[in-house]
């Protein structure tokens, strides 16, 4: 098997985003789901509507999300929709769909050490193809967030998020935060959930592609209402058919950067064992850390 292809542009603009999508050579058709983080109320790094709207409109896509497991302004459908509207996500494509509004369903986790299954929002199956559109940034618990996190925690229902966060110990959003587990087990649980989603999409004969916008690079996630300012300069956009390769390319750029602030992001990633998700996901057969970077500028 050859190296995975990762396409790269420094041009962070609607045009650059569309060009990356077109470079992937896959046409997302039918009912298209676009998975983004709508951003917690008070956060500032989430992908902005004016950047992604032209691509979402081009795909006639629906923004999809699931409610959060943590207490905040996105753990109920009504409040989640209010925040999404404030952040501009309801005025593009086919609007927004909170996937777990009407419930959830289980999908199998194959060969998992921690998870026996994954829980997706019931509306997940409404879609024919998927765009995993991530914002690259740090994360208080996972070290960093990009396509793998968006595929695992992001696609999971509220109870599914609790199940992943507790490494398979509980589906309760209240109990998962007091559950005791090793950090490495949480990182691996995210990898197992991401693999389960990929396996499920493949079993249905559907399509998914991966794009990460590497801007507003803070050490905190867009799920943090007190998200700090960016610590380093923007890097660009990467896109791939391989989510592991795409995340690896993002991480490699962060670690290769001469930006003084990159050290802060690297420290956040390493103190949370963040890079382990790449090798673990590769060991599950989810993708490859070996890739070819193709510059499209």
Give me the domain span that covers residue 267: 4-295
* pLDDT of amino acid 226: 86
Distances (CA, A) of 168 to 19, 109, 173, 289: 39, 11, 12, 26
| Coil, helix or strand at residue 58 | helix
Instruction: Tokens 């032209």: give the residue.
Output: 54
Quick one: CA dihedral 117, 287, 69, 47, positive or negative? negative
The CATH code of the domain that includes 160 is 3.40.50
Measure the CA–CA gap between 10 and 226, rounded to whole angstroms. Answer: 28
**205 Cβ partners below 8 Å, 6+ apart?**
none
Angle at 145 between CA 140 and CA 149, to 5 degrees: 110
The tens digit of pLDDT for each residue in 48-61 reads 999 999 999 999 99
Instruction: Report if pTM > 0.85.
Output: yes
* pLDDT of amino acid 57: 98
- Based on the structure, what is the number of domains in the chain? 1
* pLDDT tens for each residue of the chain, 297 residues long: 579 999 999 999 999 999 999 999 999 999 999 999 999 998 999 999 999 999 999 999 999 999 888 777 788 888 999 999 999 999 999 999 999 999 999 999 999 999 999 999 999 999 999 999 999 999 999 999 999 999 999 999 999 999 999 999 999 999 999 989 999 999 999 999 999 999 999 999 999 999 999 999 999 988 888 899 999 999 999 999 999 999 999 999 999 999 999 999 999 999 999 999 999 999 999 999 999 999 999
Residue 211 neighbours by CB distance under 10 Å: 23
| Coil, helix or strand at residue 208 | strand
End-to-end CA distance of the chain: 27
Measure the CA–CA gap between 195 and 277, rounded to whole angstroms. Answer: 11
Distances (CA, A) of 6 to 131, 153, 249: 15, 23, 7
Measure the CA–CA gap between 251 and 272, rounded to whole angstroms. Answer: 14
Measure the CA–CA gap between 240 and 296, rounded to whole angstroms. Answer: 13
């Amino acid at each position: 098997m050859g190296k995975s292809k990762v396409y790269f542009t420094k041009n962070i603009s609607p045009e650059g985003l569309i060009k990356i999508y077109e470079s992937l050579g896959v046409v997302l058709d039918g009912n298209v789901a676009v998975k983004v983080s709508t951003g917690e109320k008070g956060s500032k790094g989430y992908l902005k509507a004016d950047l992604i709207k032209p691509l979402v409109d081009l795909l006639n896509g629906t923004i999809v999300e699931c409610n959060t497991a943590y207490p905040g302004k996105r753990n109920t459908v009504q409040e989640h929709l209010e925040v999404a509207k404030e952040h501009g996500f309801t005025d593009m494509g086919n609007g927004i769909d909170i996937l777990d509004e009407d419930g959830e369903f289980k999908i199998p986790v194959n060969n998992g050490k921690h998870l026996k299954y994954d829980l997706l929002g019931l509306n997940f199956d409404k879609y024919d193809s998927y765009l995993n559109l991530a914002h690259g940034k740090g994360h208080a618990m996972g070290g960093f967030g990009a396509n793998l996190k968006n595929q695992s925690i992001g696609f999971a229902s509220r109870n599914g998020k609790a199940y992943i966060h507790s490494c398979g110990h509980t589906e309760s959003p209240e109990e998962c935060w007091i559950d005791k587990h090793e950090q490495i087990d949480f990182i691996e649980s995210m990898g197992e959930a991401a693999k389960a989603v990929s396996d499920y999409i493949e079993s249905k004969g559907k399509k998914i592609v991966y794009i990460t916008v590497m801007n507003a690079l803070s050490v905190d996630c867009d799920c943090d209402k007190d998200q700090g300012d960016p610590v380093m300069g923007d890097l660009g956009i990467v896109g791939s058919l391989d989510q592991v390769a795409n995340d690896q390319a993002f991480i490699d750029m962060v670690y290769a950067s001469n930006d003084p602030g990159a050290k802060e992001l690297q420290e956040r990633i390493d103190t949370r064992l963040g890079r382990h998700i790449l090798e673990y996901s590769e060991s599950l057969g989810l993708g490859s850390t070996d890739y070819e970077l193709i510059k499209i500028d």
